């Protein structure tokens, strides 16, 4: 319960904070993208019951915070609830990928497996837009979402690239495979150098979390695994840097056809 691409994707204004029971209820009923809900600790029984009624059956990230926190975020008339609403409209990757293929476009897709740092996410999106990525795929849970901080870190690129959020990350990737889009996992768990692999054509580049990389089940389904060769003593790259290197290599191969 409580618990290079077209630029005409539907967008909202900058990140919104909405507050008050009626306003948040309307956002829930309108199925707006809500990143997080803050509820006042010690809220009245009546207020909690009213909130619980419209949140039941929805799987939002909910935090209970002191009233001072809500007062800082609002003018004070918050009725014990604040919601962070996404500044963009998330797209459906399966639908977009099929449309791109029908239009003769060979999709270049970036899939981020549990990348949680919003600034890393924003920086990756900035590079992705520069490198001609058509869309970014993220899981609904355990991932950084599009927030004001992410948009700022992306220098606005998140307003110019399709971002697709899915409850079924692996299934979406499997669907992309089934319609002819190869999946390449960028990982340390291979000896195949990225500059020796064929990244041309329709492809998804998967990059994993900052802590433990790509999950094993996604590695198992990948059509190819590639690694970024390194000569120094440091054992790994920041995920944002690794993403930039991988996207550049894909772009380089396309230019040198």
Q: pLDDT (tens digit, 9 = 90+) per residue, 126-183?
A: 999 999 999 999 999 999 998 878 888 898 888 889 999 999 999 999 999 999 999 9
Give the pLDDT confidence of 15-37 residue by residue, as tens digits. Answer: 478 889 988 998 888 788 888 99
Mean pLDDT of the chain: 90
Express each pLDDT in 214-252 by its tens digit.
999 999 999 999 999 998 888 789 999 999 999 999 999
| Shared domain check, 151 and 167 | yes
Are 197 and 140 part of one and the same domain? yes
Place of tokens 């899915």: 166
* 242 and 117 together in one domain: yes
**What's the CA dihedral at 10, 14, 20, 24 to 10 degrees?**
20
Model pTM score: 0.77
How far apart are the C-alpha atoms of 20 and 48, rounded to whole Å? 12
Q: Cite the beta strand spans of 95-253 per DSSP E.
A: 108-112, 135-139, 162-166, 182-186, 203-207, 224-226
Distance CA 167, CA 241 (A): 27
**Same domain, residue pair 182 and 73:** no
Task: Domain count for the chain, please give it.
Answer: 2
């Amino acid at each position: 319960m409580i618990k290079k691409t077209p630029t005409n994707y539907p967008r909202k204004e900058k990140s919104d904070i909405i507050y008050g029971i009626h306003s948040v209820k309307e956002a829930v009923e309108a199925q707006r993208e809500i990143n997080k809900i803050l509820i006042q600790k010690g809220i009245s029984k009546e207020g909690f019951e009213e909130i619980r009624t419209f949140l039941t059956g929805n799987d939002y990230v909910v935090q209970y915070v002191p009233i001072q926190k809500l007062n800082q975020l609002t003018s004070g008339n918050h009725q014990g609830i604040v919601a962070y609403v996404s500044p963009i409209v998330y797209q459906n990757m399966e639908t977009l990928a099929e449309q791109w293929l029908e239009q003769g476009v060979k999709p270049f897709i970036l899939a981020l497996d549990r990348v949680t740092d919003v600034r890393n996410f924003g920086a990756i999106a900035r590079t992705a837009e520069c490198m001609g990525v058509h869309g970014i795929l993220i899981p609904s849970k355990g991932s950084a979402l599009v927030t004001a901080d992410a948009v700022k870190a992306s220098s606005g690129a998140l307003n110019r690239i399709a971002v697709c959020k899915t409850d079924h990350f692996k299934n979406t990737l499997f669907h992309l495979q089934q319609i002819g889009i190869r999946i390449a996992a960028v990982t340390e768990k291979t000896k195949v150098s990225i500059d020796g692999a064929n990244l041309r054509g329709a492809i998804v580049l998967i990059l994993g979390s900052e802590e433990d990389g790509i999950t094993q089940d996604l590695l198992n389904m990948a059509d190819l695994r590639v690694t970024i060769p390194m000569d120094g003593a440091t054992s790994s790259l920041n995920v944002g840097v690794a993403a930039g290197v991988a996207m550049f290599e894909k772009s380089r191969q396309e230019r040198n056809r």
